[in-house]
Chain A
Amino acid sequence: MNQNIPAPAPVVRLIQELNRLPGIGPKSAQRLAYYIIRLPSEDAQALADAVLDVKDRIIFCSVCQNLTEIDPCAICSGPRRDRSLICVVEEPLDVLVMERASFYRGLYHVLHGVISPMNGVGPEDLRIKELLPRLEDGSVKEVVIGVNPTLEGDATAMYIHRLISPLGVKVSNLARGLPVGGHLEYADEVTLSQAYQGRREL
């Protein structure tokens, strides 16, 4: 291919739009764009429809901030859920993962990210303040913070803890430690020390 001949304007535009998606670099964007160009019209239409449909019909649950078609969402309005427990997670995907494991019967609160100061993401850019009214009437006894155990996740957990601890609600963190199937020799220092602190009698 001759590098000097630019791609037609609509192709360039598609590449630019794809490039804006998370995890899609310029090369991947180019590959996806040329894949889409080769799609039959019906398939391209279906893709475009799916994108628009999701924007039309999916809203944020006014209680837990998860994505939903109805407000409040099925979990928030579920009759069998334990309303004294809220698990705080980063992404809607994390709710699916927890639900699939099916040991947890409480409610959720979705932050839609973690505090990431170097990327300009502060607490006000997340759905943190929406958690506070949920804790006001005293029915919630415990908030379990289930964000990812990264430095930014830990900072977010600590920020939330500081924010809600004056309300007298118990705040806990998911236990840290060695992943099942992992090997001691490959564990990093922080994981190892947290696993040690969280040791249990056999």
Chain B
Amino acid sequence: MAASRLYRVEGVVLKSAPLGEGDLLVTLLTRDGSKLRAMAWGARKLTSRKMGHLELLTRVDLALSKGRNLDTITQAHSLEAFNVMKSGLESTAKAFYLAEMVDGFAIEDGANPPLYSLFLDALRAVQDSPEDNATVPHFQLSLLQVTGFMPELYRCVECRQQILPSDHRFSIDLGGVLCSGCVPTGARIAPLSLQALKVLRHFHRSLEPNSSSLQVSDSLHQELRSILDGATRYWLDREVRSRAFMDQVGRQKSESSAPRG
């Protein structure tokens, strides 16, 4: 009887909220790609064996015990940790941004294994190649894809005709590209450069963000971001809050590296 109440799971810590006296309410993305919330009693106490293992963005092996409302974490052992001092502030800010989006799109009791490997790959990519500015937009498109919100990139969302190069626009509301012949009322439509469309299609063909190793120009990066952030905001129905910090850190970096005089 008692044995069936215990189980083990691997996951990455998305949120870790202090609760009561030294306890933690932990939200994880588990290996099967679903979200799990569990209590870690006493985890914030210096003598706790769980301390440090349940830090944000840590990949952790957990032993849990089923509870009536929330399950309880009985053991935690970190397998891989995100280290700010090693990876730098830019990578950390990006990692927070990825985690907040995953927290927004993942659901409890909704298995989605590709989501887990996508998230891990992206976390490793922002740590290993912090200068690669395509990692975040690539991850965003892949996230939309694995969670079922992939924008249409090949056929007009209105008339279903194959989109001809240079004869296209984009609508976040309608969920993808639009030919120049279709004029739907009430939808917001934005121009989309051919270059941006090509990059989005490239992201779509290769799911893993670390396989892109693509360096895009600042203006193209801006365009991709405005489209992907727009789509993310549209489906989450809210702003991704950690974006502000990511931008701030990016500005701080470029200001300090700019020649002075």
Residues on A lying within 8 angstroms of B by beta carbon are 22-23, 25, 28, 115, 117-120, 122-123, 150-152, 154-155, 158-159, 162-163, 166, 179, 181-183, 186-191
Contacts and interface: CB of A to CB of B under 8 A. Distances in A.
Nearest to B79: A189
Contacts of B219: none
B85 A122 contact: no
Given A151-B56, A190-B83, A23 B241 contact: no
Contacts of B46: 179, 181-182
Given A118-B99, A159-B89, A189 B81 contact: yes
Nearest to B95: A151
The majority secondary structure among interface residues of chain B is: mixed
B20 A188 contact: no
Given A118-B15, A162-B256, A187 B89 contact: no
- The size class of the interface chain B forms with chain A is 35 or more
A45 to B, nearest CB: 27
| Top 10 A-B residue pairs of the complex, sorted by shortest distance between their CB atoms | A117-B242, A188-B52, A117-B245, A154-B84, A120-B241, A186-B49, A151-B56, A117-B96, A188-B78, A118-B100
A118 to B, nearest CB: 5
B154 interface: no
The majority secondary structure among interface residues of chain A is: helix
B37 interface: no
A118 B249 CA distance: 15
B136 to A, nearest CB: 14
Given A151-B56, A163-B252, 5 more contacts: A117-B246, A150-B55, A151-B84, A162-B89, A188-B55
Nearest to A119: B241
B242 A118 contact: yes
B62 interface: no
Given A151-B55, A151-B82, A154-B84, A122 B245 contact: yes
A193 B55 CA distance: 15
Given A23-B18, A190-B52, A151 B241 contact: no
Interface of B: 15, 18-20, 46-47, 49, 51-53, 55-58, 78, 80-85, 88-89, 92-93, 96-97, 99-100, 103, 241-242, 244-246, 248-249, 252, 256
A155 B92 contact: yes
Contacts, number: 87
Contacts of A152: 56
A158 B84 contact: yes
A115 B241 CA distance: 12
Contacts of B15: 118
Contact of A188 (B53, B56, B89, B92): B53
Contacts of A123: 245, 248
Contacts of B57: 151
B245 A189 contact: no
Contact of A115 (B51, B53, B78, B245): B245
B199 to A, nearest CB: 26
Nearest to A25: B19
A148 to B, nearest CB: 9
A190 B55 contact: yes
Contacts of A159: 89, 249, 252
Q: Which of B52, B55, B92, B246 gathers the greatest number of chain A CB atoms within 10 Å?
A: B52
Nearest to B96: A117
B213 to A, nearest CB: 26
A191 B52 contact: yes
A47 to B, nearest CB: 20
Given A162-B252, A190-B52, A117 B47 contact: no
A117 B100 contact: yes
A118 B93 CA distance: 10
A159 B78 CA distance: 26
Contacts of B248: 122-123
A41 B47 CA distance: 41
B14 to A, nearest CB: 8
